[in-house]
Chains A and B, each alone.
Chain A
Amino acid sequence: MSATAQKNTQYRRPQGHAALVFFLLLGVMPLAAGLVYAVLYSLGLIGYLNTGFTLQYWYIALTSKALWASLTLSLGLAVLVSTVSFFLALRCVIALRPHLKQRGVRFSLHLPLALPPLVAAFVSFQWLGGTGILARGAHALGLIQTTDSFPVLVNDPYYIGVFVTLLLLNFPFILLLVLDQYDRAGITEYIHLAATLGGNSAQIRRKVILAILIHRVLPTLVLYTVFLFGAFEVPLLLGQQSPAMISVLISQKFSKFNLADVPVAYTCAVLYAGVILVLIACFWRWHFRQSPNTEPA
């Protein structure tokens, strides 16, 4: 290697360290500092009402039914939305794949990208509410006489409004992902091979298409589930006050005028961070077991 080439390739080392320091400072440090602050606050070591080390806020948080209900609700809804999105997308790809590649259809599938969660929640509120477009349609068809007869779909105890909105926001992304992976994996060839070997359509669907796609899509699906777990704007507008999804619950506790709630809010934030860390760690562990030499997208 010539001297110029050596000089040009060696410059990476010090700049690599500098880039790493910059990344740690601006990309990781703020979150780490925030979490350390939250842990210290939750242990009563800092904050307006601190009286020295105490575990009382942890006790309050861990024995709070609202927190566990909130965590269960958030995780359950996130898993449900991801799962339903995936199976709906799979069904659509199997049935409509050639049509999904048309220019106009592809454009339509990308449209929800332009819809922020806050606006999506607003539209859902206007459509699913007691005086919303669906209720008006039902009234025009003579199905209901008063707004009370229309089922409660917004701020309802079963989170139907939140589920529908999150599903409509996420389904197109999952559909595009499944469609892309279907083509990349060359599933059409596998289908021909399985059919030649005597597999029927149900077997091909379950043991070829589903088996290949679930393996390829799972990492992204897990990440989507993590995002949905922390969804804020949609449950804020369409969900209930209690049980609330975890981001809404923590935000409520921070925003209350009762200062005694603030350490509990920090405790909940630490617990939320713990769940996220566990999910991300599982995701990485699983990924490196499957393909040790590659990084996920």
Chain B
Amino acid sequence: MKKALLYSICALFALPFAYLALLSLATQWFYPALLPDSLTFLHWTGLHAGFFSALAYSCLFALTIGMFSTLAGFLSAQYIAGHPWRRWALVLAYLPYAFSPVIYAHCIKFFFLVSNLAGQVTGVMLAQFILCYPFAFLLFFRHFDADLRAMEDLSATLGASRTATFFRVLLPVSKDALRLCFAQTFLISWFDYGLSSVIGLGQVRTLTVLTYQYIGEANTYLAAVTACMICFPPLLLLWLNQRFVFRSETLQSETA
């Protein structure tokens, strides 16, 4: 009974992905058919240039934002974690993180309009960065605890230069946190719809914006194709993470 419940829960979480894949391959799937009439790759092979530009924008934004937010968050947290105003910085970092991205976007849209950044690739990128950066800061703030700062001090006491401490102590110790932060900020940017649609003014179409457009047009098959594309990188990241985390956990427990 317990196992049946457990497998039902697991199946429930896996079902949306299977459904999206099936819908993207369906030729016709009308009510009341439980399964599609036949399967085809036509929706995948007949994709137009708009899809590829949306894919390129999403990749560009997610990779750039993931990289820069992680870097900025890491460096800021490293120095602010020891600052006397650290607690205030932490309180303030929670605000943009807790704010609804779409309302945030509407509030700052004016500044993007007057600086000619609205409807531009750089504008959407900047908007996503100012959303992801406080999140990266929050992730690293906890990471730079008293132990890590003491380690940094120890390295300095032993005569290591700033550069040596950074590259030979901080970076190796923070490898997992950096990987986690990159993955999280990558996903925030990759999944973003509210900021991209408001600041992009419909001119910068990411995969999420395109998916919403297809849903609005009742083009369910193409919406399923773009939805599959949105889900693919996170699924890959998840699989890689599970594979390596599980392996390292197993190794640790075996060593212990």
Query: Chain A: residues with CB nearer than 8 A to chain B?
Result: 1-2, 4-5, 8-9, 11-12, 15-20, 22-24, 26-28, 30-31, 33-35, 37-38, 92, 95-96, 99-100, 103-120, 122-123, 125-127, 131, 133, 135-137, 139-140, 147, 168, 172, 223, 226-227, 229-233, 237, 246-247, 250-251, 254, 265-266, 269, 272-273, 276-277, 279-280, 284, 295, 297
Contacts and interface: CB of A to CB of B under 8 A. Distances in A.
A106 B30 CA distance: 35
21 contacts: A5-B157, A20-B85, A24-B92, A28-B93, A34-B110, A92-B9, A96-B2, A100-B6, A107-B239, A111-B17, A113-B187, A118-B208, A123-B16, A140-B32, A140-B34, A232-B100, A232-B193, A232-B194, A254-B106, A269-B103, A277-B95
Interface string B1-32: 01101100110111011011001000000111
Interface string B216-245: 000010010001001100110111011000
Contacts of A122: 211, 215, 223, 227
A297 to B, nearest CB: 6
A31 B99 contact: yes
B215 A123 contact: no
Given A1-B157, A123-B16, A254-B106, A147 B208 contact: no
Given A122-B223, A123-B19, A111 B108 contact: no
Contacts of B246: 103, 106
Interface of B: 2-3, 5-6, 9-10, 12-14, 16-17, 19-20, 23, 30-34, 72, 75-76, 78-80, 82-83, 85, 87, 89-96, 98-104, 106-108, 110-111, 129-130, 133-134, 137, 141-142, 153, 156-162, 165, 187, 190-191, 193-194, 208, 211-212, 215, 220, 223, 227, 230-231, 234-235, 237-239, 241-242, 246
